[in-house]
Amino acid sequence: MNTFTLILLSLVLLGAVLSFYKRKILGSTVLRFFSFFLFFQFIYQLAAMLYSFVFTQHEPNYFIFNLTMPVNIAYFSALFYDIINHPAKRKFIAITTAINLLFYFINLAFIQGFFVLMTYSRTAMAVSLVIYSLLYFHEMLTSSTIENEINPTRNATFWIVTAIFFFYLCGTLTIIIWNYLAISNQFIGPLMTRIFGFLLYAMYIIGIIVHKTEDKQSIVS
């Protein structure tokens, strides 16, 4: 387990602790459970690292990430469903979430299987989250009450959504060329994923730290 991995795990744990401490002032109902979601991510990422670096000699740990993917799909989708108010957008999120979960189990049973990285399911999830992020940004920018909102850079939701957007946008591009990366250099793919992960959790932490209690009406369409 290298230093970069330890730093990444420390960021996940720090984000979980900070979000738990500030959970009562976070505006979104689902976001108040963000700390528990980060604790969950910390546990399975720690398990994945221990499996590859301690219990085995760099054996692939893809099955751990495959196993936890439905939880990530469900939580992130619930988060966007909670923070987006437009009925049509919320319906779109609900439908695509159901499709993503169904496709995950089809992919697991009949296509890629459990012990290789389920790139098809992860790409479907990533594309969906990028679209959800764009829907959030559109609603934020076109809101009729935007002038009454606090500075978005003082809002944890904005930082978290922005982090999700860039992480899964970059992650999707990485997944698309994953097989090429694995052939040319088996370490570059995981390294890029860790770098993106570092930026993801760093932005989570920044958003939680700078978050101010919302005292205005939430964004409406």
Predicted local confidence at residue 185, as pLDDT: 57
Q: Which stretches of the chain drop beneath a pLDDT of 50?
A: 146-148, 215-221
Q: What pLDDT, on the 0 to 100 scale, is given for residue 167?
A: 94
Residue 1 confidence (pLDDT)? 57
Q: Domain count of the chain?
A: 1
Q: How many CA atoms lie within 13 A of 96 on its CB side?
A: 22
Does 193 reside within a domain?
Answer: yes
Q: How many CB atoms lie within 10 A of CB 189?
A: 19
CA–CA distance, 124 with 116 (Å, rounded to integer): 16
Provide the domain limits for residue 160.
3-210
> Is the pTM higher than 0.85?
yes
Has residue 47 been placed in a domain? yes
Tokens at 8, concatenated: 């990444």
Quote the pLDDT of residue 145.
Answer: 57
pLDDT at 220: 39
**Cα 203 from chain centroid (whole Å):** 12
Is there a domain that residue 217 lies in?
no
